[in-house]
Chains A and B, each alone.
Chain A
Amino acid sequence: MSKNFSLRSLLVRPEVATFLMFLAIMIGFYIANERFLDARNIRIVMGITPEYIIVAIGIAILMISGEFDLSVGSVFALVPMTIVQMVHQGIPPWFAIFLGLMIGIIVGFVNGFITLRFGIPSFIATLGMLYIARSLTTVATAGFPPPFPHILPNELFVYQFELFRASLYWALLVAVVLGVMLHRSNVGNWIYATGGDQNAASSMGIKTGNVKMFCFILCGFLAGFAGMIQTFRLEAPLPSQGYLLELESIAAAVIGGVSLFGGIGTVFGAVIGAILIRFLESGIIMARIDAEWFRAGLGSLIIIAVVFNTYISRRATRIGQNKAED
């Protein structure tokens, strides 16, 4: 067991590419405008990033198990809107939060059920849910966006410390707990197996249906939780919240090294991917580049990430093939 071998295998991990891109962005935009790395700007960007980190983690884990969820953006808006409306109806705040998060869980369950029971691609099932949940959000808005009821304990989730908000610590908690689950527990192993090769996993006795359902539910829950945090931060439930979030969080996961085909990816990668995208967006404004270039920049990063990761895994497979004469 040579040390060299494990160092080399570390260097070809997809997260390395992510981290390099992250460094490139931080350094590049700092050169464009020093205030990019000012305490104020870090505070602003890291103030909103935790919400995106949480969604990215949820969708990354689901993608590792081999499925997608396009409804995360709509759930992101639906859950906090229902929480606010319930409080207006007199439901005690913590109970309303509990019920709201249950809605996220239920949506995740429905997504999983439709996908697994009817055997349709999760892409399609959750695409339908995207519209349904967004529509339900508008219905829950009941015409006018309701005011934010201040008896909701939002400070617990978004209190602004010197540099970071409480939400960042919540996001880190999610990252640590789910990181341990994914990388260190047997459930995590089943998730990688289900996404890596579902037939093989189920031949070896893993209940792949249950594993995927768990990931769908987790993804829905995290999307709702993250949306709740954003609403708590804005102190206003906005029906337009989470617009295009599904694509952005898949982008974060992919840039972070998660494979579209399942079986590959890490929580750490998803976290870096989410942070990277937010700093890219900030950097473009700071550098006074036309904001339209943000999307071009984001698109380029996605392509770079996927090309690089495909290259790595092809190289790995070729090593195996070259050893046929053994």
Chain B
Amino acid sequence: MEDIIVCEGLNKYYSGVHALKDLSLKIKKDSVVGLIGDNGAGKSTLIKILSGAHQPDSGHIYFEGNKVKFKSTKEAMNLGIETIYQYSALIPEMSIARNIFIGREQTQYNVGSFGLMKTKTMQDDAMKALTDVELHLRSPDTPVNQLSGGERQGVVIARAMYFKSKVLILDEPTNHLSVKETNKVLKFVEGLKSQGVTSIFITHNLSHVYPIADHLCVMARGEKIADMEKKDTTIDHLTDLLVNG
């Protein structure tokens, strides 16, 4: 199985702080990679780079075998890399349908990249996107601030799926969820493999990601300190690395 993403020697500095030190990583296609590390380990820096929000100071990134340089989140999204952010990139008072298509609205009567939204098709496609991830909500016009935390994550995942992401980066997606909701999200991520989606699951909560991951990667102080397949390790071993690494 080919590697869908390869990072080679990534370095990033933020005002003198060396946030990412020479990080190299290979992500296998259709796998679930758990990226764990305590706060300050450099996980979010790596995510910002992979999602296109920031650029590395040195190093290379290969996507599907090609060297790439994303200059914006939009470029990363166009390639098929979607990021599910911690704070869930949804506009609270906005409806589900508009949120799903945000930045990528379906339009007609276009003048350049501006046009009138095809509201009906957006609503129908939104409902379909939701049912595709087995999220059953009453109406695509409900404002997302009326949904529970788990439902919101579901919407975000449905959005990523709709736009045919190849790689889904989930940045601590279960942090603020209840037990029930967490299980739902984990089950869902597991199912992504069979849909041809690779997931990178970032968390500091080992017990969440361990059950569903194929591969686990531990970071600390900006460096990768462990990189192994699940079968080669245990929760205790990883915890030890996390705490003492």
By a beta-carbon cutoff of 8 Å, the part of chain A in contact with chain B is 1-2, 5-6, 9, 180, 184-187, 189-190, 192-193, 196-197, 199-206, 263-264, 313, 316-317, 319-321, 323-326
Once A320-B148, A321-B148 are accepted as A-B contacts, the answer to whether A186 and B93 lie under 8 Å apart by CB is no
B146 near A203: Cβ-Cβ < 8 Å: no
Total number of B residues with any Cβ neighbor in A under 8 Å: 45
Contact for B138 among A1, A201, A319, CB less than 8 A? A1
The answer to whether B98 and A189 touch across the interface, beta carbons within 8 angstroms, is yes
A232 to chain B, nearest CB (A): 30
Report the separation of the CA atoms of residues A85 and B117 in the bound assembly, to the nearest whole angstrom.
Answer: 43
Residues B178 and A325 in contact, CB atoms below 8 Å apart: yes
One of B91, B104, B141, B145 near A192 (C-beta < 8 A) = B91
B205 interface residue (CB < 8 Å to A): no
Report B171 CB to chain A, min CB distance, Å: 10
A1 and B136 alpha carbons, distance in the complex (Å): 12
**Residue contact B93 to A326, C-beta cutoff 8 Å:** no
CA distance A164 to B6 in the complex (A): 68
Please give the distance in Å from B78's CB to the nearest CB on chain A: 9
B83 within 8 A of A: yes
Residues A204 and B151 in contact in the complex (CB < 8 Å), given A186-B114, A193-B94: no
Q: Which residue of A lies closest to B51 (CB)?
A: A203
Contact with A along B118-147 (1 / 0, CB 8 A): 010000000000000000001101111111
State the CA gap A263–B105 with chains docked (Å). 17
Q: Are A186 and B74 neighbours in the complex by a CB distance under 8 Å?
A: no
B92 pairs with A263, CB closer than 8 A: yes
Question: Contacts A263-B91, A316-B143 known; A205 to B72 CB distance under 8 Å?
Answer: yes
Q: Are A206 and B148 in contact (CB under 8 A)?
A: no
List the B residue with the shortest CB-CB distance to A194. B91
CA distance A202 to B51 in the complex (A): 12
**Is B138 touching A203 in the complex (CB atoms < 8 A)?**
no
Contacting residues, chain A, for B102 (C-beta < 8 A): 189-190, 193, 201, 204, 206
Once the chains bind, are A206 and B149 in contact (CB under 8 Å)?
A: no
Q: How far is the CA of A201 from the CA of B72 in the complex (A)?
A: 13
B150 at interface, CB cutoff 8 A: yes
Of the listed residues A2, A9, A203, the one surrounded by the most CB atoms of chain B closer than 10 A to its CB is A203
The majority secondary structure among interface residues of chain A is helix
**How many angstroms between the C-alpha atoms of A7 and B214 in the bound complex?**
48
B residues near A190, Cβ cutoff 8 Å = 102-103
B89 touches A326 (CB 8 A): no
Q: What are the nearest 3 A-B pairs in CB distance?
A: A205-B74, A196-B91, A186-B105
Once the chains are docked, how many angstroms separate the CA of A190 from the CA of B92? Answer: 14
Contacting pair B150 A326 (CB below 8 A): yes
Instruction: Give bound CA distance, A189 to B115, whole Å.
Output: 11
Choose from B72, B89, B116, B148 the contact partner of A200 (Cβ within 8 Å). B89
**Contact between B151 and A203 (Cβ–Cβ < 8 Å)?**
no
Residues 146-186 of B, flagged 1 when their CB comes within 8 A of A and 0 if not, give 11111100000000000000000000000000101100000
Chain B residues near A1 (CB-CB < 8 A): 138-139
Pair B116/A203 contact, Cβ less than 8 Å:
no
Closest to B149 in A: A324
* B36 interfacial contact with A, CB 8 Å: no
Q: A1-B139, A323-B151 are in contact. Are A186 and B115 (CB under 8 A)?
A: yes
In the complex, chain B residues whose CB is within 8 Å of the CB of A317: 92, 145-146
Of all chain A residues, the one with the shortest Cβ separation from B77 is A205
Q: Cβ of B87 < 8 Å from any Cβ of A?
A: yes
Q: Does B107 contact A (CB under 8 A)?
A: yes
